[in-house]
Amino acid sequence: MRRSYGEVGLESLPDDPFVAFSGWLAEAASVPAVVEANAMVLSTLGDENQISTRTVLLKDISEGGFTFFTNYTSRKARAMELNEQVTLLFPWFAMERQVSISGIAEKVSEQESADYFRTRPWSSQIGAWASHQSSPLSSREELEQRFAGASQKWPEGSTVPVPPHWGGYRVTPLEIEFWQGRYSRLHDRLRYERTNTTSDWIITRYYP
């Protein structure tokens, strides 16, 4: 499992971490070995200090944050209701890179969720109605039946309403760290940090 990492270093990054991130995301998306470059691991802290973690897809970078969509009654949503602090991790192993982000999660507007919902394929829209995400399910059949029921109600080609329990979250970062693997485990780590969402970013290099 032991490999020597990249010869290409991380000398400096743009002042704006969103510019830096967008550049890395575009590079990751162009590397065939990176599957789902926009997949990110979201960790939340819920009731009784229960940490939970799962993958979600980054769908937008705007208004100073990273947006994903999910079910508002899911376990992750319940955790973010209690504790808006979350982390996001992009593990781009094939490029010997990772970006880790910590920040504050907030729901996006209903309009923004609706706008994105409209772009989803019909089957995904119906799937959002069929799933009580994170609730116990008695059998696979029950899920298929719920999908069939919603399909009858809103056949393909009709307008599927946005489920009230579905929408987006935007994570506004307070820290964004770029990690580049290097030889002899002398990896490069550059971290942007700020004390609140309106203050200036400070970039610090950390020991690997």
CA distances from 53 to 43, 56, 189 (A): 4, 10, 23
Nearer to ligand FMN, 38 or 193 (CB): 38
- In this structure, the number of other CB atoms found within 10 A of the CB of residue 138 comes to 7
Nearer to ligand FMN, 54 or 189 (CB): 54
Among 5, 6, 27, 39, interactor with ligand FMN by CB under 6 A:
39
User: Shortest approach of ligand FMN to residue 45 CB, angstroms?
Assistant: 12
Nearer to ligand FMN, 42 or 190 (CB): 42
The reply to whether 87 sits near ligand FMN by the rule CB under 6 A is no
Nearer to ligand FMN, 13 or 95 (CB): 95
**Which sign does the torsion angle of CA 91, 92, 93, 96 carry?**
negative
Of 54, 78, 97, 185, the catalytic one is 185
Q: Between residue 95 and residue 134, which ones bind ligand FMN under the rule CB under 6 A?
A: 133-134
User: Shortest approach of ligand FMN to residue 77 CB, angstroms?
Assistant: 7
Q: Is 185 a catalytic residue?
A: yes
Q: Between residue 55 and residue 74, which ones bind ligand FMN under the rule CB under 6 A?
A: 55-57, 68-71, 74
Nearer to ligand FMN, 78 or 194 (CB): 78
Among 36, 115, 142, 144, interactor with ligand FMN by CB under 6 A:
36
Among 46, 54, 114, 194, interactor with ligand FMN by CB under 6 A:
54
User: Shortest approach of ligand FMN to residue 66 CB, angstroms?
Assistant: 12
Angle at 160 between CA 147 and CA 39, to 5 degrees: 75
**Residues forming beta bridges with residue 89, ordered by sequence position:** 41, 100
**Residues forming beta bridges with residue 189, ordered by sequence position:** 179
Which residues belong to the active site? 185
Residues found near ligand FMN in the complex (CB under 6 A): 36, 39, 52, 54-57, 68-71, 74-76, 133-134
